[in-house]
Amino acid sequence: MAVSDPTNTVATPLETLARREGKRPPYARMIDIATEYEVQQLVVGLPLGLDGEENEWCAEVRSMADRLGERAELPVAYVDERMTSVRAESAVRAAGLTRSRRREKGRVDAAAAQLILQAWLDNPGIAR
């Protein structure tokens, strides 16, 4: 997860939430975080195929995000997240952290969330 500053200029990574296999997404925790940071808009990465087309995983992500938006009573925007994980891994490596710190669970996911939100902040018209 990531959040922007009050001026919607800079994205900052937050904690990474895990969804246990076979379990529902942690909606309550996500809503708590959205409430704590006074979120006005949800921005969700959409895992498009390399060809730019939506796939089955996109349908799953949209379903989860739409439910979250309904429960939190917030609008949802979707951003193409292709190559975000690769860019996040590079950013984590460039941060100069030790190998063990770079491999900590969630560090790359948090950086990817930051990149997705920053892309939307820089160009909100990219939402799909």
- Of 70, 78, 90, 67, which Cα lies nearest the Cα of 19? 67
Domain ranges, residue 102: 2-126
Q: What tens digit of pLDDT does each residue of 45-81 get?
A: 998 888 888 899 899 999 999 999 999 999 999 998 8
In 3D space, the residue among 108, 30, 22 whose CA is nearest the CA of residue 76 turns out to be 30
Give the integer Cα–Cα distance in Å for 60 and 66.
Answer: 10
Look at strands 11-13 and 42-46 and give their pairing: unpaired
Question: CATH no. for residue 72?
Answer: 3.30.420.140
H/E run at residue 45: strand 42-46
The count of structural domains within the chain is 1
pLDDT of the chain along its 128 residues, tens only? 999 999 999 999 998 888 777 788 999 999 999 999 999 999 999 988 888 888 998 999 999 999 999 999 999 999 988 766 656 566 666 666 555 654 555 777 888 899 999 999 998 777 66
